[in-house]
């Protein structure tokens, strides 16, 4: 993608608070109509990145190009003019304590949009977030979900070329969060807007983002399409962060028919990923990809691929799902429904069979490479 096509591009962005470097990014950009999800744990520097891109905070070093135009060196009114082409949504709605109308109209007011035009634009922004007729309500009477919708309308009403979303749905319940994330995606796509969405929630990032970057301690550790990042993480950190909980250190002992064998604690995992013979690797497996079966269905000795017997050492119930940990002898975490847990009579101390496809085993190459 050429530089001219980017809506925003940051190059060599660094931010230091005293001696501590909180952000160190080579380059990050968003193209027209693209939604970039920025995934990372708390303290990874996600919010700082957004504040810097929104020109609310100056970077220690680096350049920002907005639609090809250099932002550094702008002052006062020129700076405000650029920042007025974006809008940001924070984790909390941060509504002004007045009516919904005054809140949504705020960005128009500071842009000196005539009052006659404001009314119509406020109404259509509220319609976009499905809050038509809420104009006269005072914001203190809104529910959490409604308040965040008003905040969204308040950002959308100024027709920003770039929308910055700083975990705006984190405090909502699951149902509201999912619904609002879906609506935001729909609104962005319908209007051809581009956005950067930062979050620590992989589900949300996958739901909204066209492209995902994973941020850790201020650095981008992986970048790619949503599917790639979840199934082919490039490091152990990225793997753990996207929910690939089962990670095993092992050595590649050979490959045939396009399957790579990785020896892990005397057992063999087979993967469709490629790796060189003798290489030390980490094999990763998502708990959702493990199937539990009665132990007698696993032949002994296990000739079929990726089939193991193990003793259950932990069962953790979380709502409708259950996380089962079995030792085979390395620990494997499987995520199954609560119902199948009950149907199969799985409990601590019992034996269980485990199966997973070779396509589910992801190989992360380790930096130190081959064993000599």
Partner 1 sequence: MSFDPEFYRVLFLSLAVSGTAALIGAAIGIPIGVALSEFSFRGRNAALTMVHAFMGLPPVVVGLFTFLVIARSGPLGFLELVYTPTAMVIVQVILATPIVAGFTHASMRGVDPRLGLQAMSLGATRLQAVLVKMREARAGLVAALIAGLGRVLAEVGAVMIVGGNIKGYTRVLTTDIVLQTRQGQYEYAIAEGLVLILVAVLVNAMLTRLQADKGREEVEKRVTGYPA
Give helix 115-128 / helix 100-110 axis angle, nearest 10°.
120
- Residues between 145 and 174 with contacts to partner 1, criterion CB under 8 A: 154-155, 158, 164
**Residue 255: in which H helix or E strand, if any?**
strand 246-256
Which residues make Cβ contacts (< 8 Å) with residue 334, sequence separation at least 6? Answer: 287, 290, 291, 292, 323, 324, 325, 326, 354
- Cβ proximity to partner 1: between 111 and 350 the closer is 111
- Residues between 95 and 114 with contacts to partner 1, criterion CB under 8 A: 96-98, 106-107, 110-111
What's the maximum distance between 2 C-alpha atoms anywhere in the chain?
A: 80
DSSP class per residue in 278-323: TEEEEEEE-GGG-EEE-GGGS-SS--STTEEEEEEEEEEEETTEEE
Question: At CB < 8 A and 24+ separation, what contacts does 139-143 make?
Answer: 139/93, 139/95, 139/96, 139/97, 139/98, 139/99, 139/100, 139/103, 140/97, 142/95, 142/100
Which residues make Cβ contacts (< 8 Å) with residue 81, sequence separation at least 6? Answer: none
Q: How many residues belong to the site for partner 1 (CB under 8 A)?
A: 27
Contacting range for partner 1; rule: CB under 8 A; set: 85-93, 190-198, 209-217, 256-264: 85-93
Give SS3 for 91. Answer: coil
- φ and ψ of 287, to 5 deg: -60, -30
If binding is defined by CB under 8 A, does position 265 make contact with partner 1? no
- Cβ proximity to partner 1: between 143 and 253 the closer is 143
If binding is defined by CB under 8 A, does position 129 make contact with partner 1? no
Contact characters 312-351, partner 1, x per CB under 8 A: ----------------------------------------
Q: How far is the CB of 360 from partner 1 (least distance, A)?
A: 42
Q: How far is the CB of 107 from partner 1 (least distance, A)?
A: 4
Contacting range for partner 1; rule: CB under 8 A; set: 27-35, 136-144, 250-258, 262-270: 136-144
If binding is defined by CB under 8 A, does position 122 make contact with partner 1? no
Contact characters 64-83, partner 1, x per CB under 8 A: ----------------x--x
Contact characters 38-67, partner 1, x per CB under 8 A: -------------x--x-x-----------
| Binding site residues, partner 1, CB under 8 A | 51, 54, 56, 80, 83-84, 86-88, 90, 92, 94, 96-98, 106-107, 110-111, 138-141, 154-155, 158, 164
């Amino acid at each position: 993608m050429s530089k001219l096509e980017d809506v925003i591009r940051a190059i060599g962005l660094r931010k230091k608070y005293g001696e501590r470097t909180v952000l160190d990014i080579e380059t990050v950009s968003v193209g027209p109509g693209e939604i970039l999800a920025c995934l990372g744990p708390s303290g990874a520097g996600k919010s700082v990145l957004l504040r810097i891109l929104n020109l609310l905070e100056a970077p220690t070093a680096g350049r920002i190009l907005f639609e090809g135009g250099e932002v550094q060196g702008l002052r006062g009114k020129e700076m405000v003019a650029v920042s007025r082409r974006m809008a940001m949504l924070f984790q909390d709605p941060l509504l002004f304590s007045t009516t919904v109308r005054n809140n949504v109209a705020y960005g128009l007011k500071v842009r000196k949009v005539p009052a006659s035009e404001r009314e119509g634009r406020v109404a259509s922004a509220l319609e976009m977030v499905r809050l038509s007729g809420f104009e006269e309500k005072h914001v203190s009477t809104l529910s959490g979900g409604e308040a965040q919708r008003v905040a969204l309308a308040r950002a959308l009403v100024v027709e920003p070329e770039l929308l910055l979303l700083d975990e705006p749905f984190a405090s909502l319940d699951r149902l509201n969060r999912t619904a609002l994330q879906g609506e935001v995606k729909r609104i962005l796509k319908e209007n051809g807007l581009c956005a950067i969405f930062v979050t620590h929630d992989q589900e949300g990032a996958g739901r909204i983002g066209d492209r995902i970057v994973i941020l850790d301690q201020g650095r981008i550790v992986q970048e790619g399409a949503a599917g790639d990042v979840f199934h082919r993480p490039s490091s152990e950190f990225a793997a753990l962060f996207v929910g690939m909980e089962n990670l095993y250190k092992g050595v590649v002992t050979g490959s045939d028919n396009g399957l790579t064998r990785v020896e892990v604690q005397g057992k063999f995992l087979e993967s469709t990923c490629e790796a060189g013979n003798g290489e030390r690797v980490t094999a990763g497996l998502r708990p959702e990809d493990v199937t539990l079966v009665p132990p007698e269905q696993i032949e002994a000795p296990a000739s079929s691929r990726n089939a193991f017997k193990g003793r259950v050492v932990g069962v953790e119930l979380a709502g409708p799902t259950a996380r089962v940990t079995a030792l085979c002898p390395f620990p494997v975490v499987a995520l199954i429904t609560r119902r199948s847990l009950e149907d199969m009579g799985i409990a601590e101390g019992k034996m269980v069979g485990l199966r997973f496809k070779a396509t589910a085993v992801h190989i992360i190459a380790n930096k130190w490479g081959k064993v000599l």
